[in-house]
Amino acid sequence: MSGYSRRLLEAMACSVIVIAVLLALPAPVGASTSAPGPENATATQYFPPIRTDNPRQTLETFRYIADELDQLIADYGLEATSDERETYDRLNLLIDQAGALVDNSALPGGSRQQLTSATVIYLLDILGRVELPPLESIPGADAGDMPSSWLVPGTPIRIVRITEGPRESEYLFSARTHDDASRFLRGIDELPLRSRAGIDSWSEALSQITGPLIPASLVMDMPAPLKLRWLETPLWKILLVAVFYLLLGVSAFLLNRLGRPRHNRSPAGRHLASCLAPLWVLLLLGWLEPRLAYQLNISGAFLAMVSITIVATRYIAGAWLFWFATQALFERIAQPGADGTEKTNYQMILLLGRTVAVFGVFVILSTGAQAVGLPVLSIVAGLGVGGLAVALAIRPTLENLIAGIMLYLDHPVRVGDFCSFGDKFGTVENIGLRTIKLRGRDRTLITVPNAEFANMELVNWAVCDMMLITSTICLRYETSSDQLRYVLVKMREMFHAHPKIESESVRIRLAELGPSSLQINIRVYALTREWNEFFAIREDVFLRVKDIVYDSGARFALPAQALHVMRDAGDDEQLSESAERAVEGWRQSGRLPFPTLSPERLRELENSLDWPPHGSVSREWLEPQVSEPLSRDEGEQEVEVDEVRRRPQTS
């Protein structure tokens, strides 16, 4: 077993052990994961009756819960031990029930429970200091038409009727209570608090209470500086929470380092190893954090801060885990086959995986931002005219993304293909979400936006079934006709005999009588799709052509000029006179062939030349010759067949 495998197994074993320990810890009985409502009020002795039909019942219920909490504080006191877990759970449940009297619909979902508990503590401190009116003066069932809201005298606190939602028609402390109560409390905190337990502040008293596993004597023996409150929380609790998050971050970092491979592994394996750290964070937050919060009993503004941090950490870790898990899944789907060949749509699958990962991470982070109080989804939904500006800003990105998808669907090029685009050549290395990367012939990396690349004229050399060899050789004019025929015949024989040349389309022809040379055109196809082999084949046939030319006694024409100084002997007078007499005879007999030949003469001349030429091996019979296709008609090659007929010899 390799060292990396051992480290990975050790990490998994450690994770299993830690999870087992966390599962063995006692779960907080009194902890609630959602804001309780009247439906949570059962017949058990722990719950007071929750009635919210009118402002009087709501305030009366809250005062009853406050009296119960006051008595519990007196009973629990500073002499609490782990045997009084039941009393501690009842205290938490009473605070949760008091939270059912608060409209918390406007609070962020991720920290709603914690902020509701903080609102309850603010109300306990305010309503325990101000003078409350008699219950008979508060609108109740006997008040006839019930008001839509009622203001607690001397305070900014309102009890309002809920007009929509699952708690419609109930009277609850308004959604603004959290903000209004926290500001108002700072102005009246010098007023005495009515309490049978002798406490001066609910916020301070509840912040010093801890769970059953932390003895009250330990809290009392702590140094005075550690008992100082910051953000309505004792400093020693803040330090413990900071240590917890420090250990969480360090353990995630070490696990990430442990899961990082030190040698080459498959991409799917690397992505799976990167999932260990976020998975560890989620497990630790899911199991240890509620138990730690239960024992520490964090409250106040610091509780809201911790709640937001926990929610943000969970969603970030979830996005992290989703990103790498999605990448690992699609890498596994696109993994090359057992024979080592890549699947056809390898890059397309990876692009789809990255798109799904980006979209999923965006949704997770947006939901997390919404949970901590940032109205991201509302902003996105209400962009309106601003959406046009955003659309214009991301238009190039969308164009490149769509062009990249079209490149995968249309397959003009694939990864590994050698192609020409514009005036450049290169091998495709990667087709990404925004750009395509190609390795140039000079080994430079060329990056082209997908939209621009898709609009270029592309030549994909990798999909050629054969590769064209074309050239023109020039022979001297001193070359005789028979020498020229010999060269043509030997070249045709050589190309037809070559095992790497496609014989059906060999074309070797005397193409032109140039100004200074006899030009022979060579046009054949090499049976290869690989460039290095193509160059080797072309080199071989060119060397053979050179040997054929020199074996015939001919020579290549050189691009040179020669000045010949000679005495001109003039025209042949006899031949000139013969030509003139022939033309005069045509004129006298009325048979001068200008501007065109007569129809009778054309009929006489038709097929009268010797073809194939005299002495040709093909004279008696010429097999049909298949010419190279010059055009295509809807994907089918037209084959032109020249049927050669036997012609009578002319003397």
Q: Which of 338, 359, 382 is the last residue of a domain?
A: 382
What is the pTM for the complete model shown?
Answer: 0.53
Express each pLDDT in 326-367 by its tens digit.
888 887 777 665 444 454 466 677 777 888 888 888 888 888
pLDDT value at 313 more than 70: yes
Same domain, 188 and 274: no
Is 481 a domain residue? yes
Express each pLDDT in 604-619 by its tens digit.
767 676 666 677 666 5
The pLDDT of residue 393 is 67
Same domain, 312 and 408: no
Same domain, 155 and 266: no
Same domain, 481 and 456: no
Same domain, 286 and 365: yes
Same domain, 211 and 306: no
Is 33 a domain residue? no
The pair of three-digit structure tokens given for residue 487, joined into one six-digit string = 């060269």
Q: Which of 462, 494, 511 is the last residue of a domain?
A: 462
Same domain, 451 and 484: no
Q: Which range among 26-40, 136-150, 225-239, 470-484 shows the weakest confidence by mean pLDDT?
A: 26-40
Q: Which of 414, 439, 462 is the last residue of a domain?
A: 462
Q: How many domains does the chain have?
A: 4
Domain that holds residue 303: 262-382
Same domain, 430 and 478: no
The pLDDT of residue 387 is 60
Is 116 a domain residue? yes
The answer to whether the beta carbons of residues 446 and 453 sit under 8 Å apart is: no
Same domain, 311 and 343: yes
Same domain, 355 and 373: yes
Is 537 a domain residue? yes
The pLDDT of residue 524 is 94
Is 53 a domain residue? yes
Is 245 a domain residue? no
- What CA–CA distance (Å, rounded) separates 97 from 74? 19
The pLDDT of residue 510 is 92
The pLDDT of residue 536 is 92
Same domain, 451 and 477: no
Phi, psi for 342 (deg, rounded to 5): -80, 150
Is 327 a domain residue? yes
Kindly tell me the burial class for residue 475, based on how many C-beta atoms sit within 10 Å of its own C-beta (0-12, 13-18, 19 or more). buried
Is 240 a domain residue? no
Cα distances (Å, whole numbers) of residue 144 to 53, 139, 162, 190:
13, 9, 18, 39
pLDDT-derived band at 148 (thresholds 50, 70, 90) equals: confident
The pLDDT of residue 140 is 80
For residue 634, what are the contacts with CB-CB under 8 A and spacing of at least 6?
A: none
Phi, psi for 250 (deg, rounded to 5): -65, -40
Express each pLDDT in 83-105 by its tens digit.
467 777 777 888 888 888 888 88
Secondary structure string (H, E, C) spanning 461-525: HHHCCCEEEEEEEEECCCCCHHHHHHHHHHHHHHHHHCCCECHHHCEEEEEEECCCCEEEEEEEE
CATH number at residue 531: 3.30.70.100
pLDDT-derived band at 469 (thresholds 50, 70, 90) equals: very high
Same domain, 436 and 545: no
pLDDT value at 1 more than 90: no
CATH number at residue 439: 2.30.30.60
- What CA–CA distance (Å, rounded) separates 427 from 39? 68
